[in-house]
Structure 1
Amino acid sequence: MAKSGLLRPAMLAASRSPRIERTVSRMSATRKLVDRFVAGRSEDEAIASAAALLSSGRYITIDYLGEDTTELDQAIDTVSHYLELLLQLARLRELIDNTGSIVGPLEVSLKLSALGQSLPGDGHTIARDHAYQICAAAAAAGVWVTIDAEDHTTTDSTLSIVRELRADFPTLGTVLQAYLHRTESDCQDLAGHGSRIRLCKGAYREPASVAYQRKTDVDESYLRCLRVLMNGDGYPMVATHDPAIIDAAQRFATEVDRKADEFEFQMLYGIRDAEQRRLVEEKHHLRVYLPYGDQWYGYFMRRLAERPANLAFFLRSLVPGSQR
């Protein structure tokens, strides 16, 4: 196996290690690279980054970072951050020229584990009720909501909550991960009228019993799933930085006569900025996933694991004089 193939599982394991988190968080070089992927710690900083992206013709989805919440007070605090964020997004929305597009330029992304999904007792209900509160505030603000995917043990609970919430919030989106064996079937089930599905490759460490391990297998699964979504009646959200998949998405859309406002590309904040701008210039819809907050460690480590270039940049920054 290539070195990059060995590094990825090691980095994903490190993303859930409190000991390594303490070590990495103390490194002086860490903050500079974190700032590349994370849009600040406060709502004000996130909104400033969002406004800059919107001015360039891009759309945004904002995530208040946090996951695997172990205390109810933490989940309640996460809800309060989203409610404050939505108040500021409502004011930002007033400044956006309404072109009549069916696409919402403003969105927030939620991780149900941050809302209490893993709490002992009925974490499922706690997370659902917290998500409902946020969805209601988002609807009042004119902001879309998408429920993020996490590790495979949460998938059934997450999709169940999404189905419940869509009864009252029909524009609610969710995320499916192509590396899971089940995802092609989930795409078929969820590609109906009005659905919004963000398809990504997957960013957690999963066993071979539930997930493809080889990159080529993940890529092939992604393309199968993408074709299902493009042939469906919903709104596909193509979350990728892979040039081959970007080309395939454009080809699949043309084959089924999807218009520009009937699907979108999504990329992460701080990654492939020039490609983001190119797609916007070509009149594609491009949404940037914009995370903020203090709980950046897990997200940061998954970004390092995804691309060897990210990890190499980080390691070089630890060497004295390497940043000159």
Structure 2
Amino acid sequence: MAPSDLLRPALLAAARSPRIERTVTKIPVTRNLVDRFVAGGTEDDAVSATTSILGSGRYISIDYLGEDTTDLAQASGTVSHYLTLLSSLAQLAPASDTDGRPRSIEVSLKLSALGQFLPRDGHNVALENAHKICTAAEEAGVWVTVDAEDHTTTDSTLSIVRELRQDFPSLGTVLQAYLRRTEADCKELSGPGSRIRLCKGAYKEPASVAFQGKEAVDEAYLRCLRILMNGQGYPMVASHDPVMVDAALQQAKATGRTTDEFEIQMLYGIRDTEQLRLIGEQQHVRVYLPYGDQWYGYFMRRLAERPANLAFFLKSLTSKN
């Protein structure tokens, strides 16, 4: 077993630990690494990074960080923040963005940040809040994609996505290839007009619901990718793995897709040179750009994904600088 396979479960468990969060967030050097993955804490930071990324020819998906909200006022505050952000993004959306081509700006939503976990009426609260954001995004010329979270939220999330798609057919959603159910979800959700972001998965899941180990997850990703590329929707290939990116390009060619009919997605701060290389080859690349103060869970999942990130972090902890 690779060392990363041993570290990953521990880091993903730490992502949900309030005690470890208090410890990690108090370490001054943590911020140095966080800044590699998070665009800042404010809307101005996000807009500035967005302007730079769009100027490089890349697309963008912006995530206002936050999850697991159990307070109605906090969920409402998240909605208000997105509405203000979308007002600013409307000024940046290129006039060339039309229904016939990919939109260059997108926002990503976590339904748990919009009230999905509220004890009595979480489903309806999250649906109503997401509907408000989707309405504002449509007016701003911006796409919306609903993020995936751990497997316990999947049924509720996809149910809300189906309801929202009745009013917003271009709404995207995320499917995680390591879940055993995802091949079936890909088949169901990849119809005409759909947008599916396929990622490997970033949460600690039991073997009963998720494939374990890199090889099994890679194989599952490739199976799901083939389904999406042979489907009628718009695949969004979220991976930094060169093998997966190459497979996506080969399958797009084999299925006759033009560059306007799929895209590659990578995280802010990871493989920037490769992102620009793909742009130079006329591929569409979208950068997933998170910002906000609630960065801890996102940060720990990034450490779990790449051992090099963790090594850099541990080196920072022992540095005299």
Cα distance between partner residues in 2 of 1:249 and 1:224 = 11
Alignment TM-score, normalising by the size of structure 2: 0.98
Equivalent position of 1:43 in the other structure: 43
Equivalent position of 1:32 in the other structure: 32
Cα distance between partner residues in 2 of 1:193 and 1:170 = 9
- Any idea what the Cα deviations from partners look like across 1:74-118, whole Å, max 9, x if unmatched? 10111111011101001112xx35275611001000000000101
Cα distance between partner residues in 1 of 2:205 and 2:97 = 42
| 1:216-295 alignment runs, 5 A limit | 216-295=215-294
Matched residue SS, 1:130: helix
CA contact (8 A) 2:11 2:303 kept: yes
Q: How many residues were matched structurally?
A: 320
Matched residue SS, 2:91: helix
CA contact (8 A) 2:175 2:199 kept: yes
Matched residue SS, 2:90: helix
Matched residue SS, 2:92: helix
Equivalent position of 2:73 in the other structure: 73
Which letter maps to 1:298? G
Equivalent position of 1:111 in the other structure: 110
- Any idea what the Cα deviations from partners look like across 1:148-189, whole Å, max 9, x if unmatched? 000000001000100100111011000000000000000000
Residue 4 of structure 1: how far off its partner (Å): 1.6
Matched residue SS, 1:294: coil
- Residues 180/99 of structure 1: CA separation in 2 closer, same or farther (3 Å cut): closer
Which letter maps to 1:293? G
Cα distance between partner residues in 2 of 1:290 and 1:105 = 13
Residue 3 of structure 1: how far off its partner (Å): 2.2
Cα distance between partner residues in 2 of 1:300 and 1:70 = 21
Equivalent position of 2:130 in the other structure: 131
| 1:150-169 alignment runs, 5 A limit | 150-169=149-168
- Any idea what the Cα deviations from partners look like across 1:192-211, whole Å, max 9, x if unmatched? 00000000000000000000
- Please, which of 98, 114, 117 is the counterpart of residue 96 of structure 2? 98
Structure 1 residue ranges without an equivalent (≥5): none
Residue 320 of structure 1: how far off its partner (Å): 2.6
Which letter maps to 1:27? I
Cα distance between partner residues in 2 of 1:284 and 1:171 = 21
Cα distance between partner residues in 1 of 2:77 and 2:217 = 36
Residue 122 of structure 1: how far off its partner (Å): 1.4
Which letter maps to 2:35? D
Residue 215 of structure 1: how far off its partner (Å): 0.8
| Runs of 4+ deviating beyond 4 Å | none
CA contact (8 A) 2:97 2:103 kept: no
Alignment TM-score, normalising by the size of structure 1: 0.97
Q: Percent identity?
A: 70
Cα distance between partner residues in 2 of 1:99 and 1:50 = 16
- Any idea what the Cα deviations from partners look like across 1:245-304, whole Å, max 9, x if unmatched? 111001101111000000000000000000000010000000000000000000000000
Which letter maps to 1:137? A
Cα distance between partner residues in 2 of 1:81 and 1:287 = 22
Equivalent position of 1:316 in the other structure: 315
Equivalent position of 1:82 in the other structure: 82
CA contact (8 A) 2:97 2:141 kept: no
